[in-house]
Structure 1
Amino acid sequence: MKRKYVFLILGCLIAVALVLASCSSADDTTTTTPDDTTTTTPDDTTTTTEDTTPTTAADIEETETTSTPDVAEPTAEPSEPVYGGTLTTAISLTPYNWDCAYQLWNSCVYTWPVATKLSEVDWWKGPAGTNEWNFDLPGVTPSRAVAGPGLANSWEMPDTQTITFHLQEGVMFQDKPGVMTAREFTADDAVWNIERFATTEGNWYNTNPAGPGTVTAIDRYTVEVKQKAVGYGTALSLPWYYPFIAPEQIEVYGDASDWRGATGTGAYMLTDYVSDSSIRYERNDNWFKKDPEGRSLPYLDEVRVLVITDKSTRISALRTGQIDTMNDVLWQDAESLHDTNPELQSRGKLATSPVKLFLPNDAAPFGPTYDPDALKVRRAASMAIDYEGIIEGYYKGNGILTPTLTAPALDPDGAFLYENLPADVKEAYTYNPERARELLVEAGYPDGFKTTITTSPDRADLVSLVVGWWNDVGIEAEIEIAEVGALWGIILGHTMETPLATAWGFGSEGPGVYSHNEAGELYLYNGGLVDCPKCDEWYIELNTAFDDDRRAELYMLGSMEALVNQFQIVLPAEIQYNFWQPWVGGYRGETSSGFYNGSAIWNFIWVDEDLK
């Protein structure tokens, strides 16, 4: 069956902003676990394990990291899940606010284990089952085709301004001493949460002209949301982004920024947080979800998240078995891990944010957008680049040519694979310095021209290769280094005068990134100052189109228009790796279940403490 994807472009700004919300560090308040922990599984089987898991980042740093641990060889994944056990993972940043009403992704990442959203990706429509959805693209909003039940079983739009959610029955809030006793989640709770989002200053829905207007509980398990204006943004975001908490939490604490008051209906309860060190979650025995065999979820008893800011320390913790998973490992580090720790399991995947080279489309030599000579210059700039040289030389074979930011996983028919692209697009992404020089002459630049590429320090080595190739064909370029914040100021401020290179998130750029709004203003992320009237029309339609097939078509039209007319240059994406220990079961290296929801993966994997 043909798979259809509808996705929201949030680009690299999200990827950067999210790298990631985080957790705590133990001082005198660190919560410890008894040395001998007795865990009762749902079939009343009792197991006893010795807990040797580190509880703080300091525990990791004090550990000898130069030797390889004596661990069991990888074995076949157990046919049955193993209940109990502790999963330990690490992140680089600490969460600065637990209240999702004030932020979107970066305050919610570590609230989601506690508080469920209206909809979540069906885990068994990913690699664990039918493989209908790719779990490697955190910044992409999934389609309804792969939606599994969250707080809502389903939702529909009877008209272009109304969204109706049908809630699950019997979903219970966790018991929270001092805040509330366990009770059922109902439509009144959903109404309260949505109204809180819509009325909180700084929340996206508070300023969105098509955000929630009136919210009504039709009955105990049905909620109707009337948008203030026609627009697809609320329908696309509300089911996937925001976790729903209990009103009692705000009554006691005033807001949701204090982790000690965390309430929700999620798979885990937040039991300890020490800023800049660690977060600890414990299993919610009353979670409403089951696996396909009807077994209770989650399988784990506990999850510990350590805040380890130094990458080399995180890698050392993985080597010595002190953390169980680590995502987005650079290929250079992956090669070393494969050599020293062959027992580690791993899976390669495209980096979520390849480098996008913005070309200013508003004026010569790279613009105006549809000026024939400007198109020749943009194609010359692309043909001057040795893409295979980047893949084989710079990435040592750990890269893939991706001329579009529509990720391969979101292109099930392969329309954007290099071999299937139109001939002129393939030519533009083929190294041909002689033809690049000819195009510059045809465009009126027989002696070339001078320009600057602005980039961040961490991209300077890669961009220096581009500068060298451009100089070879007559585009005399220099590098200007700026911090990431300054780059984003140029992009969002629409002040680009010369090319700019920065990381940009995979998804589907669609027409929006190259468009103007109905008032004629540049779309926020149209940093390349593209003037594409067709993209303007497609984007306006996209904001009011509710048919999934048509939305997918509009995204594809915008992406192909950018390719054919070389609005930008996308450099090859490097391959990164997700690693996990052999005692982690049910895991296949997935990155994120839904919109930046990596923690949802904890709901479905287990740790075999005997193997550990």
Structure 2
Amino acid sequence: MTCIKTLARIGLLAGAAALGAGGAVAQETPQYGGSLSIANVYRTVAPLSFDAADWNWKFNQDLGLVNESLLVADLSKSRTQGGPYAFISDAYLPMAAVRGELAESWQMQDNPQQLVIKLRKGVMFPEKKGVMASRELTADDVVYSFNRYNNSPKKVANYFDHIDKVEATDKYTVVIRFNKYMAEWDYRFGWGYYSSIVPKEVVEAGANNWRNANGTGPFMLTNYVQGNTLAYKKNPVYWDSITLGGKSYKLPFVETLSYRVIKDESTALTALRTGKLDIMEAVPWSAVDELKKSAPPLKWNRWLSTLGNYVALRTDTKPFDDLRVRRALNMAVDRDQIIKTFYGGQAEVLGYPMTPDFGPYYEKLATMPEAVKELFTYNPDKAKKLLAEAGYPNGFSVKVQTSSVNTNNEVLSIVASQLAKVGVKLEIQVLEYPAYLSAMTTKTHAPAYFMNQGHTNPTTSLRKAFGSGQIWNPSQYSDKAFDAKLEAAQTEPDEAKRQELLRAMTREILEKAPHIWLPTPYVYTAWWPWVKNYSGELRAGAERPGPIHARIWVDQAMKKKLGF
């Protein structure tokens, strides 16, 4: 069956992709000093806000070197260190891959149901002139940060509804009292998008001013050139260390670090090729062969994108309130052609809303009901028939919005040409990212909305994109029965049962087709060989690369030998 054959091999390919950099790197003696210049996965998107309470999804990428969370990825279990975890996923950490960051220990208790967190002692905020004196982190900082998130008018609906109260019972103990079990407790409160601990002094000085940013993390933000560079320097009072070869080393290794915002792809690739970038986290497949020729020392990792690609169809707006129309548009899209012509064969079908990274939560298309498989089979004749049945025998015209920073906009043009063959005309409107994002969050976006959206984790992938009233639900999909199933899955403590529930809900949402489901590409990470203690890991929490970069050192002699 068309497109389904690509799914048959997705599990194997995804696993091979994650292993692209090989196993553990050979242990060498770490070096201190030097600098790192990095183009992150979202190098085209400038910081959206420096205030964590704005519920800004990109905060952890921009300030995850500065502000820490209670929990974090256990990078001693990374493939760099010979462990089993690639740490690629945008916001999914199995519990076996989690360690305490600001939390020294934690315990879930019953009767009453509560989470008791013991903080590390001696963790310091550095001095920030004009903002705060250096002082120790305490439980009050955790409580204050939670209350700011929870009281923010911008918070995600129902995000903390499972929590009755967060309180400090002594200087180093935080107790989170639950009114019901929440399977995502570690993600929502421990290492997720909205879990950074920001001190009161920063808020009082003005949290959205980058000059006031301060936290317990390995680096301090020293400069921000708008739309260009975030510059950091080593935090002199940072608490953490790493053990390598049986010896403990204080972190971080490099003296300075910069994250580059580079919207133009050719500019970014030139910066990588000429050594102005040490790491480029997301290199498109189309650039890899040329880079391997022009810069052969580069090291590589290949991974299946953590972004789901789709055109959201507003189910609250005609003509997309009709299921027949939504199914017709899916059947009118030739995904095999997109994979072949745009992605050069380097893409897979059905990476969203679930992904192979989620293990048992993920189900291959080949085992799904025929009503789902049909949507992924190119069938323009059936599409025309469904459109006629829905009252659109001659098709229709509809506006679709996309962002200027979306590197896959050419895919939208291909989709538009394919839909034109069944009489559906897409009027493409390209918006700058802030306007594009604002249109969705204020629910004023067009009937069709082209988007790349992170998978996050198994329950959130369904909740945020298809739960009633959710901010990141561009299709405005709303079904009370589906919401009840979401609630049941989120509060189910038995993981095997939760997996079964979520697989069934995924089949349901795919069949209802609130999106035109599109292929998911493979992406490459490239770095120069002087970058040490690194194998292409991308996230140590929700969109948070900071702890990974703090563990990298630079072989400055090798860099000089290679002419840089």
TM (norm. structure 2) is 0.78
Once the two structures are superposed, the pairs formed by residues 130-279 of structure 1 within 5 Å of their partners are 133-138=85-90, 140-158=91-109, 163-176=114-127, 184-198=136-150, 201-202=152-153, 204=155, 210=161, 214-226=165-177, 236-240=187-191, 241-245=194-198, 249-250=201-202, 254-256=205-207, 263-266=214-217, 268-270=218-220, 272-276=222-226, 277-279=229-231
CA contact (8 A) 1:163 1:235 kept: no
Cα distance in 2 for residues equivalent to 1:489 and 1:197? 20
Tell me which residue corresponds to 1:32.
Answer: none
SS of 1:85's equivalent in the other structure is: coil
2:346 aligned to which of 374, 391, 398: 398
Change (3 A) 1:385 1:109: closer
Letter in structure 1 aligned against 2:278: D
CA contact (8 A) 1:160 1:231 kept: no
Once the two structures are superposed, the pairs formed by residues 293-308 of structure 1 within 5 Å of their partners are 293=246, 295-298=248-251, 300-305=253-258, 307-308=260-261
CA contact (8 A) 2:125 2:136 kept: no
Deviation string for 1:70-96 (max 9, x for gaps)?
xxxx9x944235221324224556657
SS of 1:296's equivalent in the other structure is: strand
Cα distance in 2 for residues equivalent to 1:477 and 1:96? 33
Letter in structure 2 aligned against 1:136: I
Letter in structure 2 aligned against 1:301: V
Cα shift at 1:356: 1.0
1:381 aligned to which of 320, 329, 332: 329
Cα distance in 1 for residues equivalent to 2:286 and 2:527? 17
Change (3 A) 1:570 1:286: same
Letter in structure 1 aligned against 2:32: G
Cα distance in 2 for residues equivalent to 1:180 and 1:529? 43
Letter in structure 2 aligned against 1:305: S
Tell me which residue corresponds to 2:19.
Answer: none
Aligned length: 519
1:603 aligned to which of 530, 550, 554: 550
Cα distance in 1 for residues equivalent to 2:48 and 2:379? 49
Once the two structures are superposed, the pairs formed by residues 316-327 of structure 1 within 5 Å of their partners are 316-327=270-281
SS of 1:109's equivalent in the other structure is: helix
1:291 aligned to which of 243, 255, 260: 243
TM (norm. structure 1) is 0.72
CA contact (8 A) 1:329 1:576 kept: yes
CA contact (8 A) 1:210 1:230 kept: no
Cα shift at 1:602: 1.2
Change (3 A) 1:109 1:365: closer
Pairing 1:452–2:384 present: no
CA contact (8 A) 2:300 2:524 kept: yes
Aligned identity (percent) is: 23
Cα distance in 2 for residues equivalent to 1:439 and 1:197? 46
CA contact (8 A) 1:380 1:435 kept: yes
CA contact (8 A) 2:310 2:516 kept: yes
2:37 aligned to which of 86, 89, 103: 89
Letter in structure 1 aligned against 2:301: R
Once the two structures are superposed, the pairs formed by residues 191-590 of structure 1 within 5 Å of their partners are 191-198=143-150, 201-202=152-153, 204=155, 210=161, 214-226=165-177, 236-240=187-191, 241-245=194-198, 249-250=201-202, 254-256=205-207, 263-266=214-217, 268-270=218-220, 272-276=222-226, 277-282=229-234, 284=236, 287-291=239-243, 293=246, 295-298=248-251, 300-305=253-258, 307-311=260-264, 312-361=266-315, 366-369=320-323, 374=324, 377-402=325-350, 404-410=352-358, 412-413=359-360, 415-437=362-384, 443=389, 447-456=393-402, 461-472=410-421, 474-483=422-431, 491-492=440-441, 498-507=447-456, 508=458, 509-510=461-462, 513-516=465-468, 522-542=469-489, 544-590=491-537
SS of 1:291's equivalent in the other structure is: strand
Change (3 A) 1:193 1:438: closer
CA contact (8 A) 2:532 2:553 kept: yes
Cα shift at 1:504: 2.6
Deviation string for 1:139-167 (max 9, x for gaps)?
x2434332111111343443598643322
Tell me which residue corresponds to 2:3.
Answer: none
Cα distance in 2 for residues equivalent to 1:446 and 1:185? 62
SS of 2:543's equivalent in the other structure is: coil
Q: Which has the larger radius of gyration?
A: 1
CA contact (8 A) 1:454 1:500 kept: yes
CA contact (8 A) 1:324 1:584 kept: yes
Tell me which residue corresponds to 1:80.
Answer: 28
SS of 1:463's equivalent in the other structure is: helix
Cα shift at 1:105: 4.0
Letter in structure 2 aligned against 1:607: V
CA contact (8 A) 1:98 1:108 kept: no
CA contact (8 A) 2:25 2:80 kept: no
Cα shift at 1:571: 0.9
Cα shift at 1:387: 1.0
CA contact (8 A) 1:358 1:501 kept: yes
CA contact (8 A) 1:161 1:230 kept: no
Letter in structure 2 aligned against 1:242: S
Cα distance in 1 for residues equivalent to 2:401 and 2:205? 43
State the superposition RMSD in angstroms.
Answer: 3.9
Cα shift at 1:228: 8.4
Change (3 A) 1:384 1:131: farther
Once the two structures are superposed, the pairs formed by residues 100-111 of structure 1 within 5 Å of their partners are 100-111=52-63
CA contact (8 A) 1:152 1:165 kept: no
CA contact (8 A) 1:330 1:577 kept: yes
